[in-house]
């Protein structure tokens, strides 16, 4: 009987395989590969050129319906944790708020005198 503190070879293999990128068949479109990678990692797909985030499902639907995996666009896409986008958005809002506060103070000071 195996010890409870040891995992079996099969469990170790499953754990190892879960950490690998999805297997791609030779003719698998790139957009399917991106979708599968995002699903596996529980991430979203980010387009840095237009600063747009899409869930894997939104991305897949759009690719099937509209663009059909246009290679130039697909090559720039990134599979990323959406929390990075949330944090970046809050940082931008903070910086913008600070800049706005400085500007408001300058305007008030200007019209005081």
**Sign of the four-CA dihedral 55, 58, 63, 66:** negative
**How many residues are present in the chain?**
113
Edge-to-edge strands of the sheet including 44-47? 52-54, 44-47, 78-80
H or E element, residue 96? helix 82-112
Give pTM, 2 decimals: 0.66
Asked if pLDDT for residue 5 goes beyond 70, the answer is no
SS3 67: helix
Residue whose pair of structure tokens reads 């913008």 in the numeric block: 96
CB 48 within 8 A of CB 74: no
| Integer Cα distance of 106 and 42 in angstroms | 46
- In angstroms, the CA 87 to CA 106 distance is 29
Highest mean pLDDT out of 62-71, 72-81, 87-96: 87-96
Mean pLDDT of 49-59: 96
Residue 53's pLDDT band (cuts 50, 70, 90)? very high
pLDDT the model gives residue 29: 84
């Amino acid at each position: 009987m195996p010890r409870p503190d040891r995992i079996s070879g099969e469990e170790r293999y499953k754990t190892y395989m879960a950490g690998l990128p999805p297997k791609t068949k030779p003719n698998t479109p790139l957009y399917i590969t991106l979708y599968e990678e995002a699903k596996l990692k529980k991430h979203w797909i980010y387009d840095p050129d237009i600063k747009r985030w899409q869930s894997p499902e939104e991305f897949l639907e759009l690719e099937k319906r509209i663009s059909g995996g246009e290679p130039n666009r697909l090559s720039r896409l990134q599979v990323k944790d959406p929390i990075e986008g949330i944090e970046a958005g809050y940082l931008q809002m903070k910086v913008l708020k600070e800049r706005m506060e400085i500007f408001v103070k300058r305007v008030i000071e200007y019209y005081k005198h």
